[in-house]
Every structure is written in structure tokens, then in C-alpha cells.
């Protein structure tokens, strides 16, 4: 199953959010997943097994390459295994809250296929508007046939 959709969620305490049911269904029976920095100042959530697969690919690249070293630092330095409680909630670590500017009372979770992202609501709205403009430039008419 793939992570799909857009979900608005509220914080119910110090960094605690409810993971939407559809996202939890894709995570499966596990009560944990990996949460780390994403690109564009959002967070990325991975099924633990998918995280392992992606990290193996990254580890296969030479650590002597600056780009590889930077990618490893970006992802591994803040990666956390978070636990889903009985009410479907997680606590987002403080360093990740700060990185993604999740200081408001709400956030947006979006499905991105093999992972999902957690966005500051205003930043997601701004980003989405930009994507709407850009997508017309690189989508050909046959793309959606």
C-alpha cells in the first residue's frame, strides 16, 4: 500500500499529533516508524523496513563524496523511531518540531507514495501553489492518459 492523501491534524500537547487512520493503515501492524528531516523544511515518515532499504542505498555510496556525506548528516542526525500510542498519537521530537517550524496548533500530513511528510500548514499551502504553477511546465498532455 502507498501513502496517499492530505490530512490536517492538530497538536494535542507538547509536540503530540494524531496520525490519521489512513496513514496508520499503510504503516501496518507496527506501532513504530522512522521520522526524520525531509526536504523543503518538512518531516518525512517511513515504515521502518522502507527506511532500512533507503539507508542501505545511501550507505552504498562513498562517504568521501561531499554530497553523500551531507545527505547522511541530514537524514541520520535527526532520525528517530517514534511510537504510536493507543489513541494513534505520536510525540514529534523537539529538534524535528523546530526544523519543520511546527510551532502552530496544526499541521498537514501528506502521502508521498512510499513515505509521508509532515508540513507546517502555511508552508504547505505556499509550496502547493508553487507546484501548481510548475507542474504545467513539466507535465505533457500524455502524462495523465
- Does 1 fall in a domain? no
* pLDDT category of residue 64 using cuts at 50, 70 and 90: low
Would you say residue 67 lies in a domain?
Answer: yes
CATH number at residue 88: 3.40.1550.20
Note whether residue 63 is domain-resident. Answer: yes
Classify residue 127 by burial, with Cβ atoms within 10 Å: 0-12, 13-18, 19+: middle
Q: What is the pLDDT of residue 140?
A: 61
User: Residue 145: inside a domain, yes or no?
Assistant: no
pLDDT confidence of residue 98: 95
Helices (H), 79-138: 94-99, 121-138
d(CA 16, CA 89): 6
Residue 76 contacts residue 25 (beta carbons within 8 Å): no
**Is residue 41, in this structure, part of any structural domain at all?**
yes
Residue 16 belongs to a domain: yes
pLDDT (0 to 100) of residue 45: 97
Average pLDDT over residues 40-65: 82
Q: Is residue 112 part of a domain?
A: yes
Q: Give the pTM.
A: 0.86
Three-class SS of residue 30?
coil
* Count of the separate structural domains present in the chain: 1
Quote the mean pLDDT of the chain: 88
In a domain, 144, yes or no: no
Amino acid at each position: 500500500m502507498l501513502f496517499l492523501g492530505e490530512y490536517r491534524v492538530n497538536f494535542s500537547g507538547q509536540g503530540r499529533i494524531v496520525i490519521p487512520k489512513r496513514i496508520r493503515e499503510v504503516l501496518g501492524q507496527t506501532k513504530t516508524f522512522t521520522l526524520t528531516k525531509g526536504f523543503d523544511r518538512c518531516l518525512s515518515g517511513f515504515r521502518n523496513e522502507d527506511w532500512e532499504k533507503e539507508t542501505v542505498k545511501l550507505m552504498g555510496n562513498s562517504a568521501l563524496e561531499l554530497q553523500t556525506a551531507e545527505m547522511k548528516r541530514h537524514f541520520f542526525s535527526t532520525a528517530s523511531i517514534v511510537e504510536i500510542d493507543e489513541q494513534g498519537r505520536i510525540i514529534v521530537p523537539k529538534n524535528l518540531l523546530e526544523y519543520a517550524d511546527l510551532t502552530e496548533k496544526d499541521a498537514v500530513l501528506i502521502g508521498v507514495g512510499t513515505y509521508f511528510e509532515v508540513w507546517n500548514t502555511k508552508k504547505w499551502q505556499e509550496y502547493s501553489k508553487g507546484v501548481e504553477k510548475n507542474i504545467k511546465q513539466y507535465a505533457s498532455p500524455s502524462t495523465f492518459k
